[in-house]
Amino acid sequence: MRMVIPIAETIRNLDNNRDPLEDYMGFGWDDLERTYKFRNRLSETKKSAYRERINHIKNTSNFNCDEN
């Protein structure tokens, strides 16, 4: 979790702090889930909730949150 929060805080800052920090946590987990150490650490319910928040932010933000 200590890596997820700084990632979420950075994305939130880039998005002008529009939404609560919890809404940005999925960005950190999404990248970390791709690593062996963090794989399968979240339940499918939690992953789904994070995906919904990520999509909301991507659809309403002026900041480009998509990967390059």
Measured at the CA of 66, the angle between CA 38 and CA 48, to 5 degrees, comes to 50
Residue 68: inside a domain: no
No. of helices (H) and no. of strands (E), the chain:
3, 0
Cα dihedral angle (59, 52, 14, 11), rounded to 10 degrees? Answer: -150
> In sequence order, what are the residues at sequence separation of 6 or more whose Cβ sits closer than 8 angstroms to the Cβ of residue 32?
3, 4, 7, 38, 41
The amino acid at 23: D
Each residue's pLDDT expressed in tens, for the chain with a length of 68 residues: 678 899 999 999 999 999 999 999 998 887 777 776 666 777 889 889 999 999 999 999 887 756 54
Does some domain include residue 40?
yes
- Whether the model clears a pTM of 0.85, i.e. scores above it, the answer is no
What is the domain range of residue 49?
A: 4-60
Count of domains observed in the chain = 1
Q: Has residue 67 been placed in a domain? A: no
Is 65 inside any structural domain?
no
